[in-house]
Amino acid sequence: MLDNALGAALPGGAGGDSGGFVVDDERTGNSPLRVVAVLVVLLGFVLAVGLLGARPAVVTGSATPAPVLTPASPEPEAVLELGTNPLLGPGILLPEVTCELPALRRSPEQLTAFYTAALRCLDAAWQPALAAAGEPFAPPVLTITDGHETACGEAPAEQEATAYYCGADKTLTMPRQRLLDTVGVRQSVHLSVLAHEYAHHVQELSGIMVAAEREMERLGRRDEVVRRLELQANCFAGLFLAAAAGRGSVGGQVARQAADDFRNTVGSDTHGTVENQAAWARKGFGREPVAVCNTFVADEAAVR
C-alpha cells in the first residue's frame, strides 16, 4: 500500500526472508483510505537470530533409560513459486473466524490491544490455509513505534509510508501517530490496512515474496511483478474480511466497508488501476478459495 517510495526488496537470505520493506501510505486528501503499496530497496543483508532455549531446570531423582523417540516430522518449507504456489492450489479456503476485538482507541495501550487481538484473528484464519498447502506458519511481530530501526534498515519516513512490513524479521509496523493523523480511529480502515499488511506476511511465509523478487531479477523489470503482488495482497485482505464478517466484533457492515476502502485509491504503474485494485479486493471478499487470488496467472488486463 503506498506510492511514494520506489525500489524492490532484495532477494532473501536463509529461510527465504525477503529482507525488504513493503510499505503502506494512507495519504488520501479527502479519501478515507488510499491503499497503495511498494517494495523499498534494502542496502544491506539479512541476519537471522534464533533463541535455542532457556537454561534447563535442575531435577533430582533416579536415572531412567531414555525413551526411544520417533523422529519428528520435517518442518514445512516455503515453496518459492508464484502462480503454481501450493497456497494457490484448489480447495484451500480460509475458515470462518470470530474476532473478539476491544474498542479502538488512541492510546498506545489501546491501539496495541486492538491490533494484537486482530492479529490473533488473522493468525486463526491463515494458519489452517498455510498448513493445508504444506507451508510454514509463524505469527508476525507487531510494533506501533514510529520511525524505529528495523532489520530491513531505517524505517521509511512519514512522507513515504504510513504502515509497512519487513520480511527480514517478519515485523508488521502500524505506526501509531501516522495512522491516527491520517485515518483517526475508524475501525474499518484500520482493519483493511492491517489485513493488507498481514497479506504481505502470508506472501513471505509461503515463498511468494521471494519468488517474486527472483522473477523481477529474471525479467530485469519490476512494475508488473510488484503490481501482481500488491493486487494479490488486496485479494488476500478481502479473503480475511469475508471470513470474519458478521461474527464477533466485525459486523457485516464494518467488513464490507473495510473491503470497499480499497477503491479509495489512485492508479499507478506499480499498483494498477483504481478499478483493478478494488476488483481484486472484491474477489477475495466473495468468500472464495485462496486460488481466486492468483494474480500471477491472471490476464494482463486484470492486473494493469
Q: Among 36-50, 151-165, 184-198, 242-256, which is the least confidently predicted range?
A: 36-50
Per-residue pLDDT, 137? 98
- DSSP-derived secondary structure letter, 167: T
- Tell me the backbone φ, ψ of residue 248, rounded to 5 degrees: 60, -130
What band does 160 get if pLDDT is binned at 50, 70 and 90? confident
Per-residue pLDDT, 72? 55
C-alpha–C-alpha distance, residues 203 and 193, integer Å? 16
Whether residue 218 has pLDDT greater than 80: yes
Mean pLDDT, residues 148-169 taken together: 85
pLDDT tens digits, residue range 85-105? Answer: 999 999 999 999 999 999 999
C-alpha–C-alpha distance, residues 262 and 203, integer Å? 19
C-alpha–C-alpha distance, residues 140 and 46, integer Å? 17
What band does 159 get if pLDDT is binned at 50, 70 and 90? confident
- Is the C-alpha dihedral spanning 101, 106, 110, 116 positive or negative? positive
Which residues have CB under 8 Å from 8's CB, separation 6+?
20, 39, 41, 213, 216, 222, 226
Mean pLDDT of the chain, nearest integer: 80
Mean pLDDT, residues 212-230 taken together: 93
Segment 45-51 long-range contacts (CB within 8 Å, at least 24 positions apart): 45/13, 45/19, 46/12, 46/13, 46/14, 46/17, 46/19, 46/151, 46/168, 47/13, 47/151, 47/168, 48/13, 48/14, 48/15, 48/17
Q: Across the strands, what pairs with 21?
A: 40, 166
How, if at all, do strands 171-173 and 141-143 pair?
A: parallel
pLDDT tens digits, residue range 2-50? Answer: 333 222 232 333 333 444 566 554 333 333 333 333 343 322 212 212 2
- Which residue's entry shows cell 464490507? 256
Per-residue pLDDT, 75? 83
Alpha carbon distance, N-terminus to C-terminus of the chain: 16
